[in-house]
Amino acid sequence: GSKLSEIEKYVDQNVDDTTSSDLRGIAKDKNIIYISAESVQNFVINRKVNGEEITPFLNDLIKDSYYFNNFYHQVNLGRTSDSEFLVENSLYPLPNGSVFFTHGQNEYNGVPEIVNEHGYYSSVFHANNKSFWNRDVAYESLGYDQFYSQRYFNVNEENTIGWGLSDKAFFDQSMKYLKSMPQPFYTKFITLTNHHPYELDEKYASIDQFDSNSKTLNQYFPTVRYTDEAIEQFFNNLKESGLYEDSIIIIYGDHFGISENHNKAMGQYLNKEITPYDTVQLQRVPLIIHIPGHEDDRVIEKVTGQIDLKPTVLNMMGIKNEEDIMFGNDLFADKPKRFVAFRDGDFVTEDYVYTKNTCYDRESGEEVDGSFCEPTKDQVLKELNYSDQLIYEDLFRFQNTDSNSADKENKE
């Protein structure tokens, strides 16, 4: 009741819901294909290792796409599942543990459910056991029509790398399902090969490892390249199948791959000492929005985060969802965001980076007086707290207007 109204009022007054971007409605009746790229950080984009490009395909794709180079992951302990939660709900993940596990059965206004009401078929492809991260349960609440989990794939010794089915085999085997899927569809492919500890048999590696004291960082580069090649192959398959022209493809990194434990080796690779400021900047992951037919190179430097994908995609689809509570903004809106908040209360604005109780100038990385970050600090904590209340108290039960949730409310 009153708590929900307080949060709705906060969102109305503070979260800009501008929908007037040039891209509004561009995805109407098109398929949306997300690729959640496991552990791919932004620092690999347009960089080399041992003189070789790490992600040649993505680097090329960026030239024909919208590329957000200050896009941050915002996950916490729920890692990939937290990124999914952010992307489908525009809410923050929880402070302790994966929200898919702790509150996977809540009522949500997930994008899969919303687009379903507008005639889209919604699905996820991920070749892991369906109950990993409690996905089978949480996906029900988000409203997916179909989850192509491990049992939909032929996984054998030959096509297994690291955690499971190799990304190349995964995309290949997915095509038969995708080709017969009712259109328009809203779907997400979650890759797996580039997963810690990044073990890749030499016969699959197109580039050499890095040479440092961190085996993790050394091995990271060839597995990232493997995923880059798998995505390229998927684009080729989409083109061959004829689905490409009718689809919009959105690729994002789900979360960091190299933790702070490897700062020394990372410093060696980037040729600088890694400060707390740099650690925040290393939380940037690539975001590439590829719209066939819109093939000019646009780098968007605005500070953005995973929480912004839901309002962006709904606006691109031309879907108005006025009653919803979202903390993100349309990525294509002109206005800067107030902040990109991380789960621990750290944040980034256009001007500042706040971490470890220190305020830094975002452009220079120089420490500045704490008073510059102070006002935003309080807003961030307030907003995280509101998001948590929505989840802890399952407040969307009372917000939804569909008959199902009205029933639930009556039974309380």
Q: Is residue 188 a contact residue for ligand GP9 (CB under 6 A)? A: no
**Range in contact with ligand GP9 (rule: CB under 6 A) among 26-34, 144-152, 189-197, 223-231:** 189-197
Q: Does 165 bind ligand GP9 (CB under 6 A)?
A: no
353 contacts: CB under 8 Å, gap ≥ 6: 277, 280, 281, 347, 359, 360, 361, 362, 365
Options 79, 188, 262, 290; binder of ligand GP9; rule CB under 6 A: 79
According to the binding rule CB under 6 A, does residue 31 interact with ligand GP9?
Answer: no
Count of other CB atoms within 10 angstroms of residue 11 = 18
Q: Measured between alpha carbons, how far is 158 from 161 in angstroms, rounded to an integer? A: 9
Chain centroid to CA 126: how far? 15
Residue 153: Cβ within 10 Å count: 21
> 188 forms bridges with which residues in the sheet?
34, 124
Stretch that binds ligand GP9, among 154-162, 190-198, 286-294, 381-389 (CB under 6 A): 190-198
238 belongs to the binding site for ligand GP9 (CB under 6 A): no
Q: How far apart are CA 223 and CA 196, in angstroms?
A: 10
**164 or 184: whose CB is closer to ligand GP9?**
164
CA 222 to chain centre: 22
What is the x/- site pattern for ligand GP9, positions 285-324, by CB under 6 A? ----------------------------------------
Cβ(219)–Cβ(195) under 8 Å? Answer: no
Give the range of 187-195, 206-214, 230-238, 336-344 binding ligand GP9 by CB under 6 A. Answer: 187-195
CB of 128 to ligand GP9, least distance (A): 4
Closer by beta carbon to ligand GP9, 191 or else 214:
191
Q: Out of 109, 128, 279, 304, point to the residue binding ligand GP9 (CB under 6 A).
A: 128
- Cβ nearer to ligand GP9, comparing 193 with 349: 193
Based on the residue annotation, tell me whether 312 is a catalytic residue of this protein.
no
Q: At its nearest, how many Å lie between ligand GP9 and the CB of residue 307?
A: 18
What type of residue sits at position 395?
A: L
Residues 132-161 close enough to bind ligand GP9 by CB under 6 A: 132
Q: Which is nearer to ligand GP9, 38 or 330 (CB)?
A: 38
Amino acid at 229: E
Stretch that binds ligand GP9, among 175-183, 188-196, 356-364, 394-402 (CB under 6 A): 188-196
CB 300 within 8 A of CB 69: yes
- Decide if 284 contacts 67 (C-beta within 8 A): no
Q: Whose CA is closest to 365, among 243, 294, 272?
A: 272
Residues 326-385 touching ligand GP9, rule: CB under 6 A, are none
Cis status of the peptide bond prior to 95, with omega within 30 of 0:
no
Site membership for ligand GP9, residue 244 (CB under 6 A): no
User: Closest separation between CB of residue 89 and ligand GP9, Å?
Assistant: 17
Given 80, 173, 193, 376, the residue binding ligand GP9 (CB under 6 A): 80
Residue 198 CA to residue 196 CA, distance in Å, equals 5
CA-nearest of 27, 24, 29, 26 to 183 is: 29
Looking from the CA of 104 toward its CB, the CA atoms found within 13 Å total: 19
- Rounded to a whole number of angstroms, the minimum distance from the CB of residue 37 to ligand GP9 is 11
Distance in angstroms (rounded) separating the CA atoms of residues 411 and 305: 37
Q: Which structure tokens are listed for 115?
A: 């687009």
Check binding of 190 to ligand GP9 (CB under 6 A).
Answer: yes
- Total residues contacting ligand GP9 by CB under 6 A comes to 8
How many other CB atoms sit within 10 Å of the CB of residue 346?
A: 22
Determine the residue type at 311: P
Site for ligand GP9 in 191-210 (CB under 6 A): 192, 195
Residue 30 or residue 262: which is nearer to ligand GP9 going by CB? Answer: 262
Asked if 91 and 68 count as a contact pair (C-beta separation under 8 A), the reply is: no
Set 80, 227, 304, 355: catalytic member: 80
Q: Does 76 bind ligand GP9 (CB under 6 A)?
A: no
Whether the Cβ atoms of residue 327 and residue 360 lie closer than 8 Å to each other: no
Instruction: Select 162 or 311, whichever has its Cβ closest to ligand GP9.
Output: 162
Decide whether 40 or 49 has the Cβ nearer to ligand GP9: 40
Query: Could you list the active site residues?
Result: 80
Which residues are near ligand GP9 by CB under 6 A?
38, 79-80, 128, 132, 190, 192, 195
